[in-house]
Amino acid sequence: MLVYDTFTLPNGLRVVHHYDANTPLAVVNILYNVGARDEDPELTGMAHLFEHLMFGGSKNAVSYDEPLQRASGENNAFTSNDITNYYVTLPAENIETALWLESDRMFQLSLTPKTLEVQQGVVMEEFKQRYLNQPYGDIWLYFRPLAYTLHPYRWATIGKELAHIEKVKLEDLYSFYGRFYNPSNAILVIAGNISYENCKNLVTKWFGDIPAGPVNANSYPVEPEQTAARRLELEKDVPMTSISLGFHCGTRGDSTFYDLDLLSDILGASGSSRLYQRLVKDERLFADISAYSTESLDAGLFIISGKIFPGITVEEAENAIWTLLSEFIANPLGVREWQKVLNKKLTVLKYSELDVLNKAMNLAMFTHLGDPNRINTEVHAFQATSPDSLLALAQQLFRPENCSTLVYKAKA
């Protein structure tokens, strides 16, 4: 049982505190309610680019990183389609440095042409390094717009194309900052070796006088129900053909998420999973295959993705996946197999409690999902699933008309 407290400042900043006496460290984690789904379709990659700009210094801190390093701290951040999350780990006695830096850049960030120009360069190199200069690196750039026609999940966090990042202007940054970066649109988690009183005093001291701002009230176009199978075939200079299937599924917040998560483990998360066992081990069609879900705040995707051995046709490989799925949904699921993935999940959940940074991030995410206490109740939600509930979900998902298929074909 993880114990925490919450309070909200008058400016709307929601704060979660968790005391951990076993570490000399403190974590300051800030989640801003803004992600790639909030972007203008003609200026994608903006949320992530902005994350880079957040390190360009603020009114009272010319550099963000240097004072933090001087305080023996370390920090990083990530942007997803849904959120932007910043985190700092440092000796608990130095926590004020982190609060000073985080509050100053929330309040009065410096946005300069030089920082913009340099970070545009950095992000374009990141785009190349992760998506373009890697075999198979751009699969998601094609897959998203295939599976989503309307919802902003149709583009990747990095952006649709390099040109979007190149054309961002300083005015765009100012308006983005004004819309999303303020206490009313953020969740602050303080975890580690710091008492509740100390936390409350220091957070009030550094964040209390930042004016309230707009809460992100964006509503996102609902992806229309898919009614026919979709397919895209590309030919690329890669050694093995890759096949990806995406099925529309629920959200991270849905009660069926736990079934979904365990279902992906049963099908394709380990050596004894269904897909791996049959399609790699028994039939030697695939060199590798896995299943997972995107765990997004709006309706996500359940992905099955694998690479096929040379000499195996796309048709053979695809048929094998569908045969396996059809058999899976037509037969009862044994208790042992359900218990197996549940046991593995319990190990993962225990593992996630070991690290104070991990606990802080999870508290922020669950608060954003509506209830920090889900950090404690998730385990029960997993235990409350059953072989039947997993199977019922599988029957809903694995229909050809709910599926988008991307074949990333190796050039002959």
Partner 1 sequence: MIDRSQIPVTRIPSKLPEINYSQQRLDNGLVVYCAQDEEELVRISLIFECGSLYENKQGLASALSKLILSGSRKYSAYEIEERLDFYGAYTDIDCTYSYISFTVFCVKAFVNPILEFLSEVLMDVEIPEKEFRLYLDKSIENLKVNEQKTSFIARRLFNENLFGPGHPYGQSMKAQDYSALSRDDIQAYYQDYFALGLQQVQVNTPLDEASLLLLSKFPRGTTKTKANASRIKEGEKHVEFHHADAVQASLYLGLPCLSRQDADYPAWSLMVTLFGGYFGSRLMKNIREDKGYTYGISAGTHHLPDRSFLGIRSDVKNEAKSECVNEIFKEIERLKTTPIAEEELLTVKNYMLGSLQRSFDGSLALGDRYRVVLDHNLPLDYYQTYSQKILHLNKEEIYRIANKYLDTNKIHVVIVGHFEK
| Out of 40, 66, 254, 327, the residue judged to bind partner 1 by CB under 8 A | 66
CB of 230 or CB of 344, closer to partner 1? 344
Is 72 an interacting residue with respect to partner 1 (CB under 8 A)? yes
Contact positions with partner 1 (CB under 8 A) in 114-143: 117-123, 125-126, 128-130, 132-136
CB of 192 or CB of 300, closer to partner 1? 192
Please name the residue that has the structure tokens 């009313």: 184
Is 71 an interacting residue with respect to partner 1 (CB under 8 A)? yes
Is 60 an interacting residue with respect to partner 1 (CB under 8 A)? yes
| Out of 215, 234, 346, 384, the residue judged to bind partner 1 by CB under 8 A | 346
CB of 56 or CB of 300, closer to partner 1? 56
Q: Residues 185, 189, 191, CA angle at the centre, nearest 5°? A: 175
CB 170 → partner 1: shortest distance, Å? 16
Contact positions with partner 1 (CB under 8 A) in 279-308: 280-281, 284, 287-288, 307
From 170-178, 243-251, 352-360, 379-387, span contacting partner 1 (CB under 8 A): 352-360
CB atoms near residue 53 (< 10 Å): 24
Separation of first and last alpha carbons in the chain: 56
Is 156 an interacting residue with respect to partner 1 (CB under 8 A)? no
**Stated length of the chain:** 412
CB 281 → partner 1: shortest distance, Å? 7
Is 336 an interacting residue with respect to partner 1 (CB under 8 A)? yes
**Side chain identity at 18, as an amino acid letter?**
H
| Out of 343, 370, 380, 412, the residue judged to bind partner 1 by CB under 8 A | 343
Is 185 an interacting residue with respect to partner 1 (CB under 8 A)? no
CB atoms near residue 162 (< 10 Å): 17
Is 412 an interacting residue with respect to partner 1 (CB under 8 A)? no
| Out of 10, 41, 74, 149, the residue judged to bind partner 1 by CB under 8 A | 74
Site size toward partner 1, by CB under 8 A: 80
CB of 227 or CB of 331, closer to partner 1? 331
From 243-251, 278-286, 374-382, 393-401, span contacting partner 1 (CB under 8 A): 278-286
Structure token digits, residue 131:
């998506």
Task: For residue 21, count CB atoms less than 10 angstroms from its CB and return exposed for 0-12, middle for 13-18, buried for 19 or more.
Answer: exposed
Q: Which of 368, 11, 356, 4 is nearest to 187 (CA)?
A: 368
Contact positions with partner 1 (CB under 8 A) in 17-56: 22-25
Is 200 an interacting residue with respect to partner 1 (CB under 8 A)? no
Is 240 an interacting residue with respect to partner 1 (CB under 8 A)? yes
From 251-259, 273-281, 318-326, 384-392, span contacting partner 1 (CB under 8 A): 273-281
From 111-119, 164-172, 250-258, 290-298, span contacting partner 1 (CB under 8 A): 111-119
Is 104 an interacting residue with respect to partner 1 (CB under 8 A)? yes
From 147-155, 169-177, 351-359, 384-392, span contacting partner 1 (CB under 8 A): 351-359
Is 103 an interacting residue with respect to partner 1 (CB under 8 A)? yes
Task: For residue 407, count CB atoms less than 10 angstroms from its CB and return exposed for 0-12, middle for 13-18, buried for 19 or more.
Answer: middle
Is 235 an interacting residue with respect to partner 1 (CB under 8 A)? no
